[in-house]
Amino acid sequence: MPKPKILFLFSDTGGGHRSAAEAIMEALELEFPGRFQTEMLDIFREYAPLPFNYAPDIYPRFSKLPRMWEWTYTVSDGKRRMRVFYNFLWPYLRRSLRQLLNEHPAEVIVSVHSLVNTPIMRARVNTNSRFVTVVTDLVSTHAAWYHSGADLVIVPTELAREKALKSGLPDEKIMVIGQPVAERYIQPMPDVNEIRIKNDWQLNIPTVLLVGGGEGMGNLEHFAIEINNAGLKCQLIIIAGRNEKARLMLEQVNWKIPIKIYGFVKNMPEFMHAADILITKAGPGTISEAFIASLPVILFSKMPGQESGNVDYVVNHGAGAWAPEAEIMIAQLRQWLEDPSKMQLVSKNASMLAKPMASRQIARAIAAQVKLSMDNPKKISV
């Protein structure tokens, strides 16, 4: 008998969608070894008609226009507005999306991208598959995430649940679980000094980890140089990601403090464990990983719209600070470095927000939907 199949729909419009899907797939295999087939599909790149199939290529450029991004996000964030938008696009999308479902049949379809939900709900007429949305924005969630026809909508925070209710979802379809993160972030870690020795970092000195995301975004070079010039007693670990230009430029700086510069790394959990402070953009995945590592967070950049609430969430819970300008960042670093008790309090607050078992719990919730699909086949009309 073939294994039941779970189809994950994502797109590389930002790194969080892919990593969320991968984390849940990993958790499914850990919780239910060999029980399910899983498949990931970049719905824009592989099935969207022109010009939408270029969305993963356009996104990095569009994300560098914050005012335009914020305007687009705000104007479109409404149930009626999204209905009008999708009604307009549906004749153009219908054929390719029905082709997708015919070519990739599954007992459960899992969406980790907001723009997927309504079109797929329309396309799955007369199929037996169940539909699960895993919301991968932490707090400021767009109306496009929420379709009342979904069988289950999993959200990371109570604030996201409130938006789901306002968008018309019945309470019984909503589960508050957390942000999916990879298993490696919750595994036992080596001793801090062991990690620092392995990576040739300084011992017995406060360690600041500066991360610009996978693409090294957010004016990383400027903040790094300002920290270098501030006379702080710390060492700086910089992760430039795939921003090769930034990495090469930083390697030419005359550093006054201990420094290590990396491109894209795969051992971020160890780096977080061995650091004392994290400076990063306000991405939901990185914030959630920092909570698990009990790291005080300084946020220096955000995507207007979906990441604005992340900043408030961190600051209002005492888990970090918002520092979009270098002088604010330096002042916050200086305060924590000169008064470790304040830094320890922020660390404790961060740990209280951690949801390390979220991926496993999401996996179990999806597995329950597979069972429902197999035990209670139904015809769906949308």
Look up the CATH number of the domain holding residue 237: 3.40.50.2000
Give residue 218's pLDDT: 55
Average of pLDDT values for 71-77? 89
Residue 380 lies in a domain: no
Average of pLDDT values for 47-56? 80
**150 beta partners:** none
Tokens 């082709």 belong to 99
Give residue 259's pLDDT: 97
Give residue 217's pLDDT: 54
Residue 381 lies in a domain: no
The answer, yes or no, to whether residue 214 has pLDDT greater than 70, is no
| 319 and 271 housed in the same domain | yes
Q: What is the pLDDT of residues 258-313, one digit of tens each?
A: 999 999 899 999 999 999 999 999 999 999 999 999 999 999 999 888 899 999 99
| 23 and 156 housed in the same domain | yes
Which of residues 155 and 63 earns the better pLDDT score? 155
Residue 382 lies in a domain: no
Backbone Cα Rg of the chain:
22
Give residue 79's pLDDT: 87
Residue 25 lies in a domain: yes
β-bridge pairing 277-281 and 207-211? parallel
Provide the sign of the torsion angle of the four alpha carbons 317, 320, 324, 327, taken in this order: positive
Which range marks the domain in which residue 117 is found? Answer: 5-183+357-375
| 115 and 212 housed in the same domain | no
| 146 and 244 housed in the same domain | no
pTM, to two decimals: 0.93
23-58 per-residue burial string, b: 16 or more CB within 10 A, e: under 16: bbbbbbeebeeeebebebbbbbbebbeeebbebbee
| 236 and 338 housed in the same domain | yes
| 208 and 168 housed in the same domain | no
Total domains present in the chain: 2
| 160 and 41 housed in the same domain | yes
| 69 and 152 housed in the same domain | yes
Residue 71 lies in a domain: yes
Residue 40 lies in a domain: yes
Please check whether residue 311 is in contact with residue 302, taking contact to mean a CB–CB distance below 8 angstroms: yes
| 206 and 255 housed in the same domain | yes
What is the percent of the chain with per-residue pLDDT over 70, rounded to a whole number? 96
| 271 and 336 housed in the same domain | yes
Please check whether residue 377 is in contact with residue 108, taking contact to mean a CB–CB distance below 8 angstroms: no
| 278 and 345 housed in the same domain | yes
| 300 and 371 housed in the same domain | no
